[in-house]
Amino acid sequence: MNIDLETLLTSLSAYFVLVDPLGASLIFNALTKGHDSAYCRKIAFRAVGLSFLVIIGFGFFGETLLSRLGITMEAFRVAGGILLFYTAFSMVVRPDEPSGDDSDKPPSNEIAVFPLSIPLMAGPGCLTLTILLFSKARQVDGGMLSVVLASVIILSMALAAFLLSRKIANAMGGTANAIVKRLLGVLLAALSIQFIVDGIMGMVVQLPK
């Protein structure tokens, strides 16, 4: 099968901005702090794998599924924004846990689904973009394969960043890491509010005049 270079480059740049592998890796480190490397690897692979399945599944069937359920993309944006804000709020106000023995700390596999996969990597913006990319790609020879390849490349970058997130955080130091964690929390909160605003504005535009 052919690869459409223009579609590939467009998809790569768009997915890179929305998935933001480096920023997501710092959030990943904040959420997995206190767990051992085996747990972090498991969560990293699971989160990226789930994100890939969601993105590709949404690309092929998302628009039809939401339409059948009577859910608009605007409502999806609002819901994703609320979930993302919950995560951001926790990152800002939750105190840092002291390092030490966390053997009695129960592991949480749910963070691979929420918030790492949804809504952080495969969030409303990413899924909306996926619908648009797949819609345009159907009209180009090799377009569909190009979009899928772009998502694989970006998510592979995210996986590599997740696996290196602890080294990055250690190089930054405890104080800098705490500052970055809260700064990212604030940025995530702003992003979540933007999702909500975009969703509400979309609903207002669709109201009958």
Residue by residue, DSSP assigns 197-208 as HHHHHHHHHHS-
Q: Is residue 197 part of a domain?
A: yes
Q: Is-contact 142 4, C-beta < 8 A?
A: yes
- What is the per-residue pLDDT for 106? 40
pLDDT score at 97: 53
**What per-residue confidence (pLDDT) applies to 100?**
43
Tell me whether residue 63 is in a domain.
yes
pLDDT at 96: 58
Q: pLDDT value at position 152?
A: 97
- Domain assignment present for residue 101? The answer is no
102 inside domain = no
Q: What is the pLDDT of residue 174?
A: 65
Boundaries of domain holding 173: 5-93+107-206
Considering its fold, how many domains does the chain have in total?
1
Chain position carrying tokens 């929420």 = 114
pLDDT in tens, the chain (209 residues): 688 999 999 899 888 878 888 778 888 988 898 888 899 999 999 999 999 999 999 999 987 887 888 888 788 778 877 877 876 787 788 765 544 444 444 446 679 998 899 888 998 778 878 887 887 888 889 999 999 999 999 999 999 999 999 887 777 666 776 777 788 778 778 877 887 888 899 888 888 76
Residue 100 lies in a domain: no
Within-domain flag for 99: no
What pLDDT score does 108 carry?
60
Residue 73 included in any domain: yes
Running DSSP on this structure, what letter comes out for residue 114?
I
Per the rule left: phi > 0, alpha: psi between -120 and 50, beta: everything else, 100 is left
pTM above 0.75, yes or no: no
Query: Does 185 fall in a domain?
Result: yes
> 120-153 b/e with 16+ CB inside 10 Å = b?
bbbbbbbbbbbbebbeebeeeebbbbbbbbbbee
